[in-house]
Amino acid sequence: MTTSPAPAAPRTARRIVLATVVILAVLIAAFFVFASMFTDFLWYDQLNFAQVLTTRWIATATMFVIGFLGMAVPMFIAIQLAYRMRPVYVRLSSQLDRYQEVVEPLRRLAMWGMPVFFGLFSGFAAAGQWETVWQWANGTATGQTDPQFHLDTGFYLFDLPFYEALLGFISAVLILCLLVSALVLYLYGSVRIGQGELRISKAARVQLAVIAGIYLLTQAVSLWVDRYKTLTTTEDKITGAAFTGVNAVIPGLSILAIIAALVAVLFFVTAVIGHWRFPLAATALLIVAALVLGVAYPWAVTTFQVKPNQNQLQAQYYERNLKATKAAYGIDGVDTTPFKAQTTAETGQLRSDADTTASIRIMDPNVIGPTFQQLEQYRSYYKFPSKLDVDRYTLNGKTQDAVVAVREIDTSRIPSPTWNNSTLVYTHGYGLVAAAGNQRTDDGEPVFLERGIPTSGTLTSSEKFEPRVYFGENSPAYSIVGAPKGTSPVEIDYPRGQDSSENQTKTTFTGDGGPRVGNFFTKLLYALKFQSEQILFSDSVNADSQILYDRDPATRVQKAAPYLTLDSDPYPSIVDGRIVWIVDGYTTSSSYPYSTTANLPKAISDSVNTQPGFVTDDINYIRNSVKATVDAYDGKVTLYAWDPTDPVLKTWQKIYPGTLKSISDMSGQLMSHVRYPTDLFKVQRAMLGTYHVTDAASFARQDNLWETPNDPQSDSANPELQPPYYLTMKVPGQNQSQFSMYTTFIPASQGANSRNVLMGYLSVDADAGSTAGKKSDSYGKLRMLEIDADTTVPGPGQVQNSFDSDPTVGQQLNLLKQGQSKVTHGNLLTLPVGGGFLYVQPVFVQSSGGTQVPRLQKILVAFGDKIAFADTLTEALDQLFGGDSGAAGGDNNITPTPNPTPTPGTGTGTGTTPPSGDAAFQAALADAKAAMLARDAALKAGNLTEFAAQDQKLTDAVNRLLALEGSGSSTTK
């Protein structure tokens, strides 16, 4: 009796179920991918930048296909040829028989699977190189040639990276084809190893020799191309080929390229005649030649020729590096002026610089953020950034420097943070707040030019103004806005009076700021994107709803122009009745011949921007080629070709045609708020520390290196560089005050030998003017004051040390710090006035706990070795310059509110302090100090009776100090 086989139905059912699950999983994954891609398209399409996305998609897909086919097809052909040309009647070894038994069942899968597998990897790698290929295809000539090969520098910017990538790809394909061919040929007997000899069939010989020949021919081309790479690699202390590179490396690569080509020919000959001896011997010769010409000979030239005569032999190459680096970083037009600084302060010395002193910014944007928050927040769900921005406005025909910030929504502090409130109700911020940079109120608060809810002030009084901020640096991740006409508004616009629902003004967004989500399909897509089912089921999401997301100005500009490196400091301005964010965009490269490489994050890092992050780290070419604006109300992105001559920008314009507007389309108001960008200036100052010299001899000696001083207020354990500052001032060589940015230089030295004295003072004309579509002629002009070596001018660190170590200043600061008060030093500004350099530092006082409102209480100033400390800048300048400086600060017309010297538990500051030489003042100060120390000692000992007695003595001493206020203070060192 035979047993019938078990029915196959259960197994078939399992297969069907498994196949169904797999298909469903694939479909779900595909739908999620589609949702992501389609919502991206909706975002770009609404912004009118759809071609940016479609260009990237098409280019990526094209390169993936090219990469896939470029790897898979040659590998498939190599495998098929190796298999089909196998010897059929050849006795194999028992070991190969066992290999074939294992491989044969998987042969078809392997023959197709291996090309597909490696093809996928190759496709993804090629897709990531699409920008390199598209730049090569659209490259633009620069009109400048390199000094070695006399090729247009556009070859290095656009062509050379493509050739490197292409040769690397071809080499990888050939190596893999050679390996898989050898493997298949061995498995099927075309290549046999045994009894001390290697036997190769004719077909195998032809295949292996041809692939090896093509590979070596590719290496010959690669070696030839490597000659050009020497102009962008480091040699000695420069980037670019120096003496060894020109006289040893480049000739050596040329010879090796010729040898490799000859070896390739020998492999092709071997494919015909069948002798392996000659190509293998030639390959060994190539390896030896590579060691001799690529390693030994350059080492010998460097060791025995260059080092003993370095400055003489390298001079012309240092000159090449100097010229190319200055051109690549835009520092070849620096107007350098020798400057013999005065260090003695005399009466009336600032009279010719009255415009500059009147514009000195005493409101530090990095300190008074909490003041804006406390005075202009209005509700807990509004917020200001901790570090404010600097802009300028023309008021009554004069330029007014301003500290500005946007009042944005703080979603983490909205009442009842439900999805409905977070997404539909609290959707936007309100208004721009601006304060005069050079003024203060009597009690040390900012003088506001624009403030309040509803907003009011001198910046918007004469025009229709749109104050709502739907797009900002701290906007919600997404909001859904918009509704049909006649529908009651639900978005909180601004509060009125008491914080209750009856005292809220509401609005409905009427712009075109995001994709429409009025139908079920788009609701579903965005519900998946943001993982929020409320989008799909909320009745408040209607036919006219729009979804706003990717609302940060930098994010929007980066997506619209992905080829740009963006400045780390976007800033808001009021332009033509709208709040707009202005963002600077850079085109960069790391392939400019003979230009020294800079690490971008390191170059722009300072005490204000401590952790910059960039995809592009190392660059040796940079241009501020694009100015971008983002409308704070509807998020509209506009890109302007600020430097239309930039070849990199021209190339990208060919790739993304029609995405940039001409500078002629910029309005006069927008031009008046455009400024020279901070990060570009930082990169330029980093390069000028070395490249301020003008001749190769000085560069070779490296005896005049400069560096940016550390910020005196940064942590001494982890010092950060002092940031550059915007100021309206007149630099020697200018006819009138100009909105400028500046930085200082001190000698580059380390440890005990370091000297914190001024060596250079760099400024740039940062004002683009106010003429529509036309830059100011002076915009971007770099001016360097080289301090005479015979004159010692203290640097920022030395001046700060003078402030901190002065006994009288220290005593007064200690009084300001009593109780719950905290003293904060503002930015230390350096100004070239009075024939020398004036240092100005505001001093703020605030509570160290609870409500913190930094108020400007004192001003520290220094000129030469003399310092002064007073309530106002005008008073401090007069004290510093013999009782009459001849100029006044912007705080000239204020009368500081007397603020009592703080007693324990109070948080107020001092008023005007009597002269440091006043005996009564000094006696009261000494009594206060002694009482304070005795009181603290009594408290530690637990003697409350003594504590009360000393506390009373301290109070009496403080009251005596108050009675002595008002007689001024000046100190000479």
pLDDT digits (tens, 9 = 90+) for 189-213: 777 765 556 677 888 889 999 999 9
Q: Is 631's pLDDT higher than 90? A: yes
183 and 208 Cβ atoms separated by less than 8 Å = no
The more confident residue out of 953 and 563 is: 563
Mean pLDDT confidence for 860-878: 93
Nearest to 671 by CA among 596, 762, 593, 573: 573
- SS3 for 620-667, per residue? CEEEEEEEEEEECCCCCEEEEECCCCCHHHHHHHHHCCCCCEEHHHCC
Q: What percent of the chain has pLDDT over 90?
A: 67
Distance between CA atoms of residues 688 and 355, nearest Å: 29
Asked if omega into 553 is within 30° of 0 (cis), the reply is no
Q: Is 10's pLDDT higher than 80? A: no
Residues in the chain: 973
**Cβ atoms within 10 Å, residue 486:** 5
The pLDDT, as a whole number, for residue 765 is 96
| pLDDT band, very low/low/confident/very high, at 969 (cuts 50, 70, 90) | very low
Greatest C-alpha distance within the chain: 129
Distance between CA atoms of residues 446 and 438, nearest Å: 9
The pLDDT, as a whole number, for residue 203 is 85
User: Which residues are within 8 A (CB) of 800 and not within 5 positions of it... i.e. 6 or more apart?
Assistant: 712, 713, 825, 828, 841
**Cβ atoms within 10 Å, residue 278:** 14
Q: For residue 656, what are the β-bridge partners? A: none
For residue 910, the one-letter residue type is: T
The pLDDT, as a whole number, for residue 903 is 31
> Given CA atoms 869, 873, 876, 881 in this order, what sign does their dihedral have?
positive
Mean pLDDT confidence for 236-244: 94
837 and 341 Cβ atoms separated by less than 8 Å = yes
644 and 665 Cβ atoms separated by less than 8 Å = no
Nearest to 721 by CA among 679, 691, 692: 679
| pLDDT band, very low/low/confident/very high, at 906 (cuts 50, 70, 90) | very low
765 and 730 Cβ atoms separated by less than 8 Å = no
Nearest to 450 by CA among 440, 442, 458, 462: 458
Least confident range of 370-374, 536-540, 889-893, 944-948: 944-948
The more confident residue out of 171 and 922 is: 171
Pairing between strand 335-339 and 782-787? parallel
The pLDDT, as a whole number, for residue 15 is 83
Q: Is 5's pLDDT higher than 60? A: no
Distance between CA atoms of residues 557 and 660, nearest Å: 12
| pLDDT band, very low/low/confident/very high, at 766 (cuts 50, 70, 90) | very high
Q: Is 968's pLDDT higher than 50? A: no
Residue appearing with tokens 């093509």: 214
Q: Is 911's pLDDT higher than 60? A: no
Mean pLDDT confidence for 677-698: 95
| pLDDT band, very low/low/confident/very high, at 966 (cuts 50, 70, 90) | very low
Mean pLDDT confidence for 557-584: 96
The pLDDT, as a whole number, for residue 902 is 36
Residue appearing with tokens 């008046």: 672
Burial (CB < 10 A; 0-12, 13-18, 19+), residue 509, is buried
CA atoms within 13 A on the CB side of 789: 3
Q: Is 620's pLDDT higher than 60? A: yes
Instruction: State both tokens at 690.
Output: 């070395």
Q: Tens digit of pLDDT for each residue in 920-963?
A: 666 676 677 677 667 666 666 666 567 667 767 776 776 666 56
**For residues 570-609, b (16+ Cβ closer than 10 Å) or e, as one string?**
bbbbbbeebbbbbbbbbbbbbbbbbbbbbebbebbbbbbb
Mean pLDDT confidence for 609-630: 86
Distance between CA atoms of residues 467 and 574, nearest Å: 9
373 and 384 Cβ atoms separated by less than 8 Å = yes
Least confident range of 100-109, 478-487, 586-595, 841-850: 100-109
Instruction: State both tokens at 258.
Output: 């010729």
For residues 768, 770, 774, 775, the Cα torsion angle rounded to the nearest 10 degrees is: -10
CA atoms within 13 A on the CB side of 808: 20
Q: Which helix (H) or strand (E) holds 860?
A: strand 855-863
The pLDDT, as a whole number, for residue 440 is 93
| pLDDT band, very low/low/confident/very high, at 8 (cuts 50, 70, 90) | low
The pLDDT, as a whole number, for residue 910 is 34
**For residues 122-140, b (16+ Cβ closer than 10 Å) or e, as one string?**
bbebbbebbbbbbbbebbb
User: Which residues are within 8 A (CB) of 150 and not within 5 positions of it... i.e. 6 or more apart?
Assistant: none
Mean pLDDT confidence for 139-150: 96
Average pLDDT, the chain: 88
For residue 351, the one-letter residue type is: R
The pLDDT, as a whole number, for residue 806 is 87
Pairing between strand 571-575 and 618-619? unpaired
Nearest to 732 by CA among 417, 399, 341: 341
Instruction: State both tokens at 753.
Output: 């030998």
The pLDDT, as a whole number, for residue 617 is 84
For residue 271, give Cα distances in angstroms to 183, 626, 658: 19, 56, 54
**Cβ atoms within 10 Å, residue 257:** 19
For residue 617, give Cα distances in angstroms to 28, 510, 676: 38, 41, 22
| pLDDT band, very low/low/confident/very high, at 141 (cuts 50, 70, 90) | very high
* CA of residue 16 relative to chain centroid, distance: 55
Q: For residue 492, what are the β-bridge partners? A: 506
Is 0.95 surpassed by the pTM of this model? Answer: no
- SS3 for 84-102, per residue? HCCCCCCCCCHHHHHHHHH
- SS3 for 691-756, per residue? HCCCCHHHHHHCCCCEECCECCCCCCCCCCECCCEEEEECCCCCCCCEEEEEEEEEECCCHHHCCC
* CA of residue 272 relative to chain centroid, distance: 59
Q: Tens digit of pLDDT for each residue in 519-554?
A: 999 999 999 999 999 999 998 999 899 999 999 999
Mean pLDDT confidence for 363-383: 91
Nearest to 386 by CA among 715, 610, 719, 615: 610
SS3 call for 448 = strand
| pLDDT band, very low/low/confident/very high, at 894 (cuts 50, 70, 90) | confident
User: Which residues are within 8 A (CB) of 441 and not within 5 positions of it... i.e. 6 or more apart?
Assistant: 447, 894
Q: Tens digit of pLDDT for each residue in 108-118?
A: 777 888 999 99
413: DSSP letter: G
Least confident range of 159-163, 899-903, 908-912: 908-912
Burial (CB < 10 A; 0-12, 13-18, 19+), residue 949, is middle
901 and 957 Cβ atoms separated by less than 8 Å = no
The pLDDT, as a whole number, for residue 905 is 29
User: Which residues are within 8 A (CB) of 803 and not within 5 positions of it... i.e. 6 or more apart?
Assistant: 809, 825, 841, 860, 862, 867
| pLDDT band, very low/low/confident/very high, at 896 (cuts 50, 70, 90) | confident
Helix axes 202-229, 50-84, angle to 10 degrees: 150
Instruction: State both tokens at 911.
Output: 């008023």
Pairing between strand 478-481 and 468-469? unpaired
DSSP string of 332-349?
TT-EEEEE--B----TTT
The pLDDT, as a whole number, for residue 496 is 73
Distance between CA atoms of residues 797 and 522, nearest Å: 59
